[in-house]
Amino acid sequence: MWDWSTFFHYLHSFYLIKGAGISLALSIGAMAIGLLFGTIAALMRRSRHRLLRGPASFYVWLFRGTPVLVQLIIIYTGLPQLGLKLGVISSALIGLGVNEGAYLAEIIRAGISAVPRGQFEAARAIGMTRATTMRVVVMPQALRIIIPPLGNAFNGLMKTSSLASVISMEELLRRTELLIQVQFKVLEIFIVAALYYLVLTTLWGFVQQRLEAHFSRSVTTSDRSRGRAPQTATLGLNQAVLSHDAT
């Protein structure tokens, strides 16, 4: 039987709310690591030097080609065998972050590729170095294209972060399971946990809308003045991200 009072009781359980906070923090941390790895890998894959392209392609291939759950377990349980002992939190952050980086690398690379070649050439002709061209001309334009799929990736990551429970990271899912072992109210408590994930992703949805509006504004001012939704060429990118459902 479904027990409403249990459900409402755990709906404002500080233990679970804290678990949700830990899930969010883990997702943010992993996203930061992912962005760092992803940006570096994206730039390396665009390099003219094979020595830079090769390792970056290998990284993307390896981490997109194996389940993140397996990666987490290898990092936490397997690496100590080689003398590399990582704590639970480090393992979760690194595992989720490095995996995410492989997906973000593709998103960032696609965003850079979408900037017309003439923009690079004009910047180079003025006398900008490669690095300045990237920073001043290419990245700001790529960002407008990257932001929507990046937002989707973070949404996915908040859910994928639940996998860290298998290496005993005390995030939302793990705390839910621990609670159930004591309380035996399986459905009620799991539904509460699911609602918390829903709250996290919904709140993020609002943030993402604001971000997208902000980054397309500077470019498509005329669209804004006419009150139209700015159009960016992100269809292919969104598809690339949608097919990435790691969980």
Partner 1 sequence: MTPPDDARLMVEADGIHKYFADHHVLRGIDLNVRKGEVVVIVGPSGGGKSTFLRSLNHLDAPDQGWVRIDGELLGYRSSNGGMVAVSDAILSQQRRQIGMVFQQFNLFSHMTALENIMSGPLRVLRSDRATAEDEARRQLALVGLEDKAASYPEQLSGGQQQRVAIARALAMHPKVMLFDEPTSSLDPEMVAEVLQVMLDLSRQGMTMVIVTHEIQFANKAADRILFMDEGQIVEQGSPAELVSNPRNERTQKFLRLVMGNI
Q: Which residues bind partner 1 (CB under 8 A)?
A: 116, 118-119, 121-130, 132, 136-137, 140-141, 144, 218-222
DSSP states of 134-158 as a string? IIIIIHHHHHHHHHHHHHHHHHHHH
Least distance in angstroms from the C-beta of 92 to partner 1 = 37
| Residue 230 burial (CB count, 10 A) | 16
Q: How far apart are CA 246 and CA 82, in angstroms?
A: 27
Least distance in angstroms from the C-beta of 232 to partner 1 = 12
Least distance in angstroms from the C-beta of 214 to partner 1 = 13
Cβ nearer to partner 1, comparing 125 with 182:
125
Which of 221, 102, 120 has its CA nearest to residue 157?
102
Q: How far apart are CA 211 and CA 78, in angstroms?
A: 39
Cβ nearer to partner 1, comparing 137 with 147:
137
Cβ nearer to partner 1, comparing 17 with 128:
128
Cβ nearer to partner 1, comparing 5 with 222:
222
Helix/strand number for the chain, H first, E second? 12, 0
Least distance in angstroms from the C-beta of 220 to partner 1 = 8
CB 111, CB 192: distance < 8 Å = no
